[in-house]
Structure 1
Amino acid sequence: MPITAAADIYVEEAFYNIRYYAGKCFTTTQTGTCLPEVCQCSSRGLWYSHSFNVTQPDGFIYIKCSMLFDLREVYSDSLKVRIVEFSSPRIRPNENFPLSSGYLVTFSCNVDITNYYVTFQWDCLNNESVDTMIEETTNQSSTITRKLHLKHDNQTCTCISNVDGYIANAYLRVYVSKVPVLQINDSRVCNDSFSTSISCTISTEFSMYGFDMWEHTFRGIYIRSLKGKVDGRRSSLTIASCRFQDAGDYRCYGWTNVNGETFSANKSVSLYINGPPLIVSATKRLGQNVTLSVLFCSSSYPDPMWLHLGTPIKNSTQMTQILYNTSLPIQVYNVTVMCAGYMTNLTTELFMAGRFVACLKNDFGEVRKTFLVNLKKSKGFMVSFDFRSIIIGITALGICIVTSSVTVVLMKGRRKSSVVHVVGPHELSTIPIYHSAPSAEPVIHIYDSANAGYLEVIDYASSQSHYSERNNKESGDGVSNTTTNEHDYEEID
């Protein structure tokens, strides 16, 4: 036994003294007795132990232990320790748990280490040990591939790593899903009026399986349910003639039954319809100007063009056309949904009339909307006539006969009734007088011709009498204008 019941330990340049006294173990690195996880002593003083942390990542450290015996003899021993730093191995599958039955799954085992050679050994789903492949690699990883079955559920996969003689293991419990796996077409595109088919296939090891109704949605809104044609493990849906309303997502539902418990799965595919623009509505607004509008949806960016009497319209001060992006409500199998649509406007002045056509084109076709615009009277107008002699005229208000030098102004306001204001020769009018330009083409009027086309009885005596009376009145000084109520016809009893 060492005479001092103590031991000296040297770790590189550090020194530790451990001694046993009065039934307790002490060390110079701590004040008081040793903690069990730090240092321990033999009750007879035959052995001593000390724990310490190694901070260097790799290489060698030298440890020396010495004891003092009788006759002051010191006995010692030394040890060279190799330091290897690496992480514990980790196993990961390439899919999330639970894994799908009937599919290949790759397991990888990784160890974080540098400058050392690592070997791997697998014990993974050993009931298929014939297919097990062990890879030895220096890049600190190894992979194996297994085909999953329901019998692998709840089994353990083990990876054994050997780093320069140091062994470390990793374990992974495998979970296999009882939910069926559905395979469906990729997103499909159907041209307008063509047919398309969507199919869904179920994969499962169970004997009881089936399909539910397909579900059609548009931007997350439920549209309708459809029954697919089932043939074995496949359910198919056929659209005979694609229309804009058939666009959206189609979801397939499949199920399996395991010991009375049902496990369901679903998967969707998007269907895109390529076709000409779909006109949602069209309006014609009459005001100070005429505004024609068409609201429509389009599967690609549109290129609208307006025509007037068959001629393309260019933007001008008289005609302006604009295209807006907007969101439009449309009816899809009696369900209202919103589509990314457009609105095209054409604004013209009132005197522009005739046949207007909105030509809506995109990458897949063209549609047209026709508008007929008729000239209408404005809600407010004024027409004036300046008479210097006897004039007989026909207006929209009736027949107006004016004598002498007067001005007749026809006005129509917001009210339905019209107002005729007669301005005499001595009256100051505050009403603006408008003179209309002559028509581009002569307008034949029934009163333009002196020959009425029929015999007319003329009383020369009466006419001469009226002519003489008029001359007398106009030649007399200080005589006021009067109106006579005498009749130039013979009364019959």
Structure 2
Amino acid sequence: MLFVLVSTLQTSVHLSGENIARKGDAIHLNCSTDSVPTDKAMNIQINEASHNYIRLRNGVCFSSVSGGRCSSDVCQCSTKGLWFGYTYLAEHAEGLINITCAMVFGSRGLFSDTIQVQILEFRGPLLTTNATFPLVANSVVSFTCKVEQTFRKMKVQWECLGNDTRTDRMSTKYASVIKRIAYLRFDNQKCECIVDIDGYITVASIKIKISKNPIIFLEESVSCTSDLSVMLSCIISNELPEYGFDSWIHYYDGMLIRNLTGQTNGNRSTLIIDSCSQEDTGSYTCIAWNQYSGGTIYANKTVSLTVHKLRGSFEIQSVIFGVVAIGIFILTGTGTVIVSARRKFSNTIHIVGPHELSPSIPIYHSAPTSENIPQIYDVTNSGFLEIIDDSLQQNPSLESDEDIKSDTVYEEID
């Protein structure tokens, strides 16, 4: 009996690569076979159209796209021609694309394998903070992760400063916000926002930098009243074990006035001014320090002090000024001349002030005297009305004021 052994070779081609990619991403393809293809070559097709022909020749890998030797980051060939690698840049709009790897095996013909790749279009993730770096130690910082995409299911995961947060959203524009305390121990750590869109995962991250400077809490302005006390309090906040305060510095208009020693109690320095005066007006600077990695780091903050006068003394001065002003007004506003009269005569001259219209105001009259003595009421002063008795007006012999002027004495008429 004759036995005939027939050898059958099973040929297959296998293509592998990412099945989801973002527009503009590089898709890494690997096409392999179990037997050496004709010419040790393969052909890459995109949506059934030929894209790149890669061939191994004399141990060197060539590409039709580059027109020569393959760049190692673009295409590769195995030494026996059993597998080929290619990096394809997906510049397609969102949707599915078909990628095919085809090889020819002589009389057995062409064999191929195809994969489908989902192309996504979106923007982000963009990771930002509401504060600039380095962050202030112990401050509360907001981290925001923004994504703009088509309407697909999206998952966001945070790995940021010791905490993990997960959220699920269906949105075209989405922003995930978390808040964290920037403890000094988080310095140089990473904060990551991990976004999953239909199985496509992308990450945005930032490196955390935290300031080692001491944080000072101090009011911007303080006021006090003369002769009363005032207290300035400066507080330091940090996680470092070694810290302290230097002397307070008093300035006025930028000029150094004096150095003052505050009372230190833990992380607080207090400056007490027992009796405020105008000489205490100005700015007071608190200086704090801490030690980190063998060095000393300083920080300072300034408060402005305003000194006011006592309100009581101001009110007394105002009252005194008002009384004096009223007295001057009364003295300058009256126009009545009061004199003492000794004798009464029938022929008199009335000198009346501008306000003496009431019969209750006494009127004084001038009369002739036997003594030739000039009197101060012989001439009418400016601002007063001269009233002449009717009996004098009927006497034609009196033609001028000189006839009236004579030696007189005065008597008050009731």
TM-score by length of 2: 0.53
Write out per-residue CA displacement over residues 295-343 of structure 1, whole angstroms, 9 at most, x where no aligned residue. Answer: xxxxxxxxxxxxxxx99xxxxxxxxxxxxxxxxxxxxxxxxxxxxxxxx
Q: Distance in 2 between matches of 1:39 and 1:258?
A: 51
Equivalences for 1:138-287 in 2 at 5 Å?
138=171, 139-189=173-223, 196-239=230-273, 246-257=280-291, 261-272=295-306
Matched, 1:41 2:77: yes
Q: Is 1:123 the counterpart of 2:159 in the alignment?
A: yes
Secondary structure of 1:52's counterpart equals strand
Q: How far has the Cα of 1:194 moved from its partner?
A: 6.6
Q: CA deviation at 1:245?
A: 5.1
The residue type equivalent to 1:118 in the other structure is M
Q: Secondary structure at the match of 1:265?
A: strand
Are the counterparts in 2 of residues 108 and 141 from structure 1 also a CA contact under 8 Å?
no
**Contact 2:155/2:196 (CA < 8 Å) preserved in 1?**
yes
Query: Does 2:48 align with 1:16?
Result: no
- CA offset at residue 166 of structure 1? 2.2
Once the two structures are superposed, what CA deviation does each residue of 1:18-45 show, in whole Å capped at 9, x if it has no partner? 2333333333223322222233334444
3-state DSSP class of the match of 1:179? Answer: coil
Partner Cα distance (2:253, 2:92) in 1: 60
Distance (whole Å) between structure 2 residues aligned to residue 186 and residue 159 of structure 1:
38
What is the CA-CA distance between 1:143 and the residue it aligns to? 3.6
Amino acid at match of 1:81: V
Distance 2:123 2:147 in 1: 5
In structure 2, what is the equivalent of residue 6 of structure 1?
A: 41
| 1:75 match: secondary structure | strand
CA distance, structure 1, for counterparts of residue 260 and residue 93 of structure 2: 65
Aligned to 1:69: 105
How many pairs does the alignment contain?
276
Contact 1:86 1:111 in 2 (8 A): no
**2:214–2:289 Cα contact (<8 Å) kept:** yes
Distance change >3 Å, CA 135–CA 214, structure 1 → 2: farther
Matches within 5 A, 1:86-105: 89=125, 92-101=128-137, 103-105=138-140
Partner Cα distance (2:51, 2:216) in 1: 68
DSSP 3-state at the match of 1:51: strand
Displacement after TM superposition at 1:252 (Å): 0.7
- Compute the RMSD of aligned alpha carbons: 4.0
> 2:58 corresponds to which letter in structure 1?
A
| C-alpha distance in 1 between matches for 2:92 and 2:221 | 57
Distance (whole Å) between structure 2 residues aligned to residue 151 and residue 15 of structure 1: 53
1:190–1:62 CA distance, 2 compared to 1 (3 A):
farther
CA contact (8 A) 2:251 2:283 kept: yes
Identify the structure with bigger relative contact order (alpha carbons < 8 Å, sequence gap 6+): 2
Corresponding position: 1:108 with 2:143: yes
Q: Is the 8 A contact 1:59 1:83 kept in 2?
A: yes
| 2:97 counterpart letter in structure 1 | I
Q: Distance in 1 between matches of 2:147 and 2:114?
A: 31
Q: Do 1:95 and 1:105's aligned partners in 2 also have CA atoms closer than 8 Å?
A: no
- Rounded to whole Å, the distance in 2 between the matches of 1:40 and 1:204 is 56
Q: Deviations for 1:107-140, whole angstroms, at most 9, x for unmatched residues?
A: 52525442244323233344xx5xx544445554
CA distance in 2, matches of 1:168, 1:275: 67
Q: Is the 8 A contact 2:129 2:144 kept in 1?
A: no
How far has the Cα of 1:164 moved from its partner? 2.4
Deviation at 1:271, TM superposition (A): 3.5
Aligned equivalents of 2:307, 2:97: Cα separation in 1: 74
SS in 2 for 1:263: strand
Structure 1 unaligned residues grouped into runs of 5+: 277-309, 312-493
Cα 1:243–1:57 change in 2 (3 A) is: farther
Deviation at 1:213, TM superposition (A): 1.5
Same amino acid, percent of matched pairs: 36
Q: Contact conserved, 1:39 with 1:49, CA < 8 A, in 2?
A: yes
Q: C-alpha deviations, 1:258-284, integer Å up to 9, x for none?
A: 6865433211123356789xxxxxxxx
Distance 1:241 1:232 in 2: 26
For residue 396 of structure 1, what is the aligned residue in structure 2? Answer: none
What amino acid is aligned across from residue 46 of structure 2 in structure 1?
V
Runs ≥4 residues deviating over 6 A: 191-194
Report the CA distance shift for 1:120/1:182 in structure 2 as closer, same or farther (over 3 A): same
Equivalent pair of 1:134/1:144 in contact (CA under 8 Å): no
For residues 171 and 147 of structure 1, what CA distance do their matches in structure 2 show? 17
State the alpha-carbon separation in 1 of the partners of residues 293 and 87 from structure 2. 57
Residues in 1 aligned to 2:277 and 2:122: alpha-carbon distance in whole angstroms: 63
CA contact (8 A) 1:93 1:105 kept: no
Query: What are the Cα deviations for residues 452-493 of structure 1, in whole angstroms up to 9, with x where unaligned?
Result: xxxxxxxxxxxxxxxxxxxxxxxxxxxxxxxxxxxxxxxxxx
Query: AA paired with 1:8?
Result: N
Whole-angstrom distance in 1 between the partners of 2:65 and 2:222: 75
Contact 1:195 1:239 in 2 (8 A): yes
Give the corresponding residue for 2:96: 60
The structure whose residues are more often helix, as a share, is 2
Whether the aligned pair in 2 keeps the contact of 1:136 and 1:142 (CA below 8 Å) is no
